Structure 1
Amino acid sequence: MKMNIINVDNRNIDTEHICCAITDKKGECCISSKKAWLKGCYNDGLMFKKLDVRGKVFVEYIPAENAWCPIIAEEYMFINCFWVSGKFKGQGYANKLLEECISDAKLKGKKGLAVLSAKKKMPFLSDPKYLKYKGFEVCDTAKPYFELLYLPFEKNTEKPKFKECCKDGITDKKGIVLYYSNQCPHTEKYAPLIAEIAKAKGINFALLKYQTKDEAQNAPSPFTTYSLFYEGEFVTNEILSDSKFIKFLEGKGL
């Protein structure tokens, strides 16, 4: 397959397919929420590059100063999401997308790339094994498993770091708290869904949505797309289905 990489921007976002995991009419609100979020970030320098196919083969990045992530990474480019899945794996598409990102960042005078990952491969986070193979290094960590990786373009470049607000994986709010945003199309479906389940069970549950980058940049967890806390402590960044959330509640005796 020819590596035809296209930009998804204001000119074509309303017609381009951005997530093959959501295809039916029931997912229209999820897709529209993600597209609205992208539109709101374009003026902040966000780029969404994808293979010209109907599938999850894309990289999304933004100047780190405007990233919806509590980091300090001046003059870096921050990768929001980097995904190559299914039949598209192992064909060089990840390398091509990363090369596009690096080239664009250099052209814009950035010091390097930064990306949120984890000690091991985790759902909805970029693969640390691949990134480290491509030269990324760990520059900071946050509890319980987050790693901030960076790829500097020159030696002795100042390293990005997490803000203190997200280092310990805690919040001052009790009960079950879910912080989320529309960076992923799945959250608009599953975040309200588990809130409804908690309400039906009479559980103390708070659903807190990041509406601005400033809110996200002062979050208690690095992954502002979706972070679930229980009694003040971080639990998971995985976007839970109704069945997984019910299993979590059962494990807590709720």
Structure 2
Amino acid sequence: MEIITITADNIDSEHICCAVSDKKDSTGANAKKSWMKDRFQDGLVFRRLDARGKVFIEYIPAEKAWYPILADGYMHIDCFWVSGQFKGQGYANQLLSQCIEDARSQGMHGLTVLSSSKKKPYLSDPDYLKYKGFLTADTAHPFFELLYLPFTDNAPLPRFKDCARKGTIEETGMVLYYTAQCPYTSQYVPLIAKAARARGHELTLHPITTTEQAQNAPAPYTTYSFFNNGRLVTHEIFSEKKFEKFLDSLPV
């Protein structure tokens, strides 16, 4: 098996890994592909294993990344995933090496990636990244870490924007910021909005549709940030069942 690159020329005929197992609903995959098509002109790279599985890396120059970070001159890893039967076979090292090679060839300072103090769903594995030489550049509430791999000793230190440090917003009630960067948002956001209405709750949706909006978002993980009464509740995409459980936990 080999690593292939998804481009504007082949994206319509290729799968995008993270949605490969979802045969019932192509809405999320189509939204993700549309998002990717718009990002190719910004330097987005998506590489995956030529197999029916979740083995891929997605990265883009940090100046164009959909994250509230200051990391000019770095390559930012959006998503990096090796799962299931493909673990332990060297694919993660291979994908990361290709990303490093791309960044070096463009004269960049190094790599950045959003992670966490302990391994969390939807975020890159901090243990693996730190084993590969990544360092903590900055932190944000409640557990986010901006990791970086500098290519030189004097590389500038990346950091989060102040707007994303506290994990709070002024808006009250249930509020969700999200993008189409993950195919599961397009699938599940309408479902939890419907569930909220059915239970008599108001859920305010803020779809992030531009790079500028993403880079000024109120939380580091712009793909999905769910707030309640001004505080960040989760970055993990709610399924219907998990959202119902959250609603059950609210005070009457």
Residue 240 of structure 1 corresponds to 238
Moved over 3 A (4+): 20-25
Residue 54 of structure 1 corresponds to 52
3-state SS of paired residue (1:125): coil
Corresponding residue to 2:160 among 159, 162, 182:
162
d(CA) in 2 for partners of 1:29, 1:205: 21
**Runs of 5+ consecutive residues of structure 2 not aligned to the other structure:** none
The Cα shift of 1:192 comes to 1.3
d(CA) in 2 for partners of 1:89, 1:50: 14
Distance 1:9 1:246, change over 3 A: same
The Cα shift of 1:25 comes to 4.7
- Contact residue 20 and residue 54 of structure 2 kept, 8 A: no
Distance 1:21 1:34, change over 3 A: closer
Once the two structures are aligned, what percentage of the paired residues are identical?
Answer: 56
Residue 125 of structure 1 corresponds to 123
**Runs of 5+ consecutive residues of structure 1 not aligned to the other structure:** none
Q: How does 1:121-200 map to 2 (within 5 A)?
A: 121-200=119-198
The Cα shift of 1:22 comes to 4.4
d(CA) in 1 for partners of 2:220, 2:108: 22
Q: How does 1:1-254 map to 2 (within 5 A)?
A: 2=1, 4-19=2-17, 21-253=19-251
Equivalent position amino acid for 2:239 in 1: S
Equivalent position amino acid for 1:120 in 2: K
Root-mean-square deviation (CA), in Å? 1.1
3-state SS of paired residue (1:79): strand
The normalised TM-score by structure 2 is 0.98
The Cα shift of 1:24 comes to 4.7
The Cα shift of 1:249 comes to 1.0
Q: Which moved more, 1:139-148 or 1:19-28?
A: 19-28
Distance 1:175 1:20, change over 3 A: closer
The normalised TM-score by structure 1 is 0.97
d(CA) in 2 for partners of 1:124, 1:116: 10
The Cα shift of 1:222 comes to 0.5
The Cα shift of 1:21 comes to 4.4
d(CA) in 2 for partners of 1:115, 1:20: 18
